[in-house]
Every structure is written in structure tokens, then in C-alpha cells.
């Protein structure tokens, strides 16, 4: 399989952003490429949807990877956000599994549309409550013995 160039990664990230855009644009978010290049793990691209003090950061290497929601400097990963709002550590559709590099974006679209109203249009306090609760859940989870972690959904 040929190695993808930085421009290929940027193009795929933009195509993925187009999948997510319909749920974000009505709330004033605008997409831009934030970073791209070559690292020890290969080529990558980073983009973000931003509106006022909020931003959704998306990392793409071989598929959609790290997804984080921010209000100013306070942020939460998609997995933590979903754990808080669904009540399950593995809640939501994203990441899922697929051979298509764009499938993760479609799954993320579903999660944002279904679960992320606090990020999209909620008050700062509502969103920051999710950030704090996710931090608390991850601290609790990290303190569990390994075998107990396997029992957590």
C-alpha cells in the first residue's frame, strides 16, 4: 500500500470535516486545518471546528484518531464526553471499526448530533460540568485494579 502524503491526509481530513459540518455549521462553527506534517508515526493532519471560545479538534493519520472538545483551555476527549452523557465507558458510535477512513467521521457526526448539545449550544457551565465529570470518571477508572477495569462497561 503506498504511503499517503501530507496533502493526501489534509484532503481526507477536509472530506471528513464535510461529513461533520452539517451538525456544526448551524451553531456557528467554522473548519480550518490547524497542523500537518511528518512525525515518527507517519504523515498527519489536524483540523478544528471553532466558534467563539469553543473548538472541536480532529486528528487524522490513517483514520480519525484523537477527537477533543474545548472551551478555552479546558477540554475533554470524545470517549470521556460519551462516558458522561451515555453512562457507558464505551458509549456512542465513534470510533467503531471500518476499512474506510471516512467512516469514523460519519460515526462522529451521529454522536455529536445525538449527544453533544452541551458543546454545541449549552451554557459554559453545562459543558464544563461534563469536562469535570469526565475527569472524575477517568481518575476513578485509573485507580481501579486491572481486573476490575475489565468489568467496567
Length of the chain: 153
Q: What gap in Å lies between CA 100 and CA 109, rounded to an integer?
A: 15
Tens-digit pLDDT profile for residues 97-133: 888 989 999 999 999 999 999 999 999 999 999 999 9
43 with 9: CB under 8 angstroms? yes
* pTM as predicted: 0.93
CB atoms within 10 A of CB 37: 10
- C-alpha closest to that of 136 among 78, 66, 83, 73: 83
Q: What gap in Å lies between CA 31 and CA 48, rounded to an integer?
A: 6
Amino acid at each position: 500500500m503506498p504511503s499517503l502524503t501530507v496533502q493526501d491526509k489534509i484532503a481526507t481530513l477536509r472530506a471528513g470535516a464535510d461529513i461533520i459540518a452539517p451538525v456544526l455549521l448551524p451553531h456557528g462553527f467554522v473548519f480550518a486545518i490547524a497542523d500537518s506534517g511528518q512525525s515518527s508515526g507517519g504523515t498527519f493532519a489536524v483540523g478544528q471546528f471553532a466558534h467563539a471560545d469553543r473548538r472541536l479538534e480532529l486528528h487524522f493519520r490513517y483514520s480519525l484518531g484523537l477527537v477533543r472538545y474545548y472551551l478555552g483551555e479546558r477540554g475533554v476527549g470524545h470517549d470521556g464526553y460519551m462516558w458522561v452523557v451515555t453512562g457507558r465507558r464505551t458509549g456512542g458510535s465513534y470510533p467503531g471499526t471500518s476499512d474506510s477512513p471516512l467512516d469514523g467521521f460519519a460515526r462522529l457526526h451521529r454522536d455529536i448530533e445525538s449527544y453533544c448539545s452541551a458543546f454545541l449550544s449549552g451554557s459554559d457551565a453545562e459543558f464544563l460540568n461534563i469536562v469535570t465529570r469526565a475527569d472524575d470518571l477517568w481518575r476513578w477508572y485509573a485507580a481501579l485494579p486491572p481486573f476490575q477495569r475489565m468489568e467496567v462497561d
